Amino acid sequence: MDKKRIYLSSPTMHGEEQRYVQEAFDTNWVAPLGPNVNAFEKEMEEYTGCGHAAALSSGTAAIHMALRLLHVKQGDIVFVSDLTFSASCNPIVYENGTPVFIDAEPDTWNMSPQALERAYEKYPHPKAVICVHLYGTPAKLDEIMEICTAHGTPLIEDAAESLGSTYQGRYTGTFGKYGIYSFNGNKIITTSGGGMFVSAEEEAAKKVTFLATQARDPARHYQHSQIGYNYRMSNVTAGIGRGQLLHLEEHKAKKKAIYEQYQAAFADVPAISMNPMNDKGDANNWLSCMTIVKNSKITPDMVMDALQEKCNAESRPIWKPMHMQPVFAACDFFAHGEDGSSVGEEVFARGLCLPSDIKNTDEDMEAIIRTVKELF
């Protein structure tokens, strides 16, 4: 227990965060509005080229607001990536919509265009498509957007894990009608907790800001004509985000170096494969993941246990696909394989997320790699 803890992906502070937070305290702007919130939105607009942004309390809130803008209601179908965290699809249920899960494809582990096409054969008029960029790797956006456009369906990009990733030179989160980012504590930059809704449409961002501040009408008294939400980001946490954003490129470079070190180290272990990259994009490598060849005597649990016991290192399983979750057992699912075989199920069964903290030392990385290789 005295051994140093090696984290999966913990926050990394630099100092500038404190300056912006101190400004919030010095000016008494500690409410869920203020100069840091406005500036953080502007700086995210400038960094991503998204057009317009609204800073919120979480990435989940941003997805919820996107669905509200699209008027998702009871009985509406929403196609969503299956291999993801539940936050990608929970907001569909908030609005009484019905999630329909689309399997991953093997090239990027993201939404399968083939499975998406098959979903349209059964459900020709979904209200939206939510595509996740898993672990920071861009999805096959050209194919997915072509399908969505052909069917007249708005695309919501869940870029919670992929801030800073690009596809064909353009930042993820800026391709769809709406995009969302997360600044949760384990993300590539953090505000401790928070998210961002982005859109090329100014009115969309304004409407989200309105809804997220309890939908208060512009009257002297408290008047409400719509149901609103308490979803605005705090001026204090926005200050943390402003300081973090200054170091996003540095964090990306370190995450990439971690992935490349694992990739090189395991190149001579035939049983191990690293999570795939999209050759049309540049991933932020938020988490480095590995899969183990079928029928290996070594399991992901054995790797995770060894890392814990020998290195005091945190690792975790790949996301359990949504169609396998008890809460979504009644929802429809479209597999990548025409024979019904699921890529997401295979990745979940044979994969794990390796320690990907940018504060990992050379000694930490050597210990992790040695521990994994010794098992094989």
Tokens of 172: 């993820």
CATH class label, 248-375: alpha beta
Q: What is the pLDDT of residues 245-290, one digit of tens each?
A: 999 999 999 999 999 999 999 999 999 999 999 999 999 999 999 9
**Which residues belong to CATH 3.40.640.10 in the chain?**
16-245
Q: Which residues of 105-118 are buried (b: 16+ CB within 10 A; e: fewer)?
A: beebbbbbbbbbeb
**Which residues belong to CATH 3.90.1150.10 in the chain?**
248-375
- Tokens 């929403």: give the residue: 78
> How would you write the pLDDT of the chain (376 residues) with one tens digit per residue?
568 999 999 999 999 999 999 999 999 999 888 999 999 999 999 999 999 999 999 999 999 999 999 999 999 999 999 999 999 999 999 999 999 999 999 999 999 999 999 999 999 999 999 999 999 999 999 999 999 999 999 999 999 999 999 999 999 999 999 999 999 999 999 999 999 999 999 999 999 999 999 999 999 999 999 999 999 999 999 999 999 999 999 999 999 999 999 999 999 999 999 999 999 999 999 999 999 999 999 999 999 999 999 999 999 999 999 999 999 999 999 999 999 999 999 999 999 999 999 999 999 999 999 999 999 9
Integer CA distances (angstroms), 173 to 32, 209, 342, in order: 24, 18, 26
CA distance 340 to 335: 5
Cβ neighbours of 194 (radius 10 Å): 28
Q: In the CATH scheme, what architecture does the domain 16-245 have?
A: 3-Layer(aba) Sandwich (3.40)
From the list 107, 161, 104, 158, the residue with the least C-alpha distance to 129 is 158
Integer CA distances (angstroms), 191 to 154, 173, 241, in order: 29, 18, 5
Q: Could you tell me the strand order of the sheet in which 178-182 lies? A: 52-56, 195-199, 178-182, 155-158, 128-132, 77-81, 98-102, 333-334
Question: Is the Cβ–Cβ distance between 189 and 238 less than 8 Å?
Answer: no
CA distance 186 to 9: 5
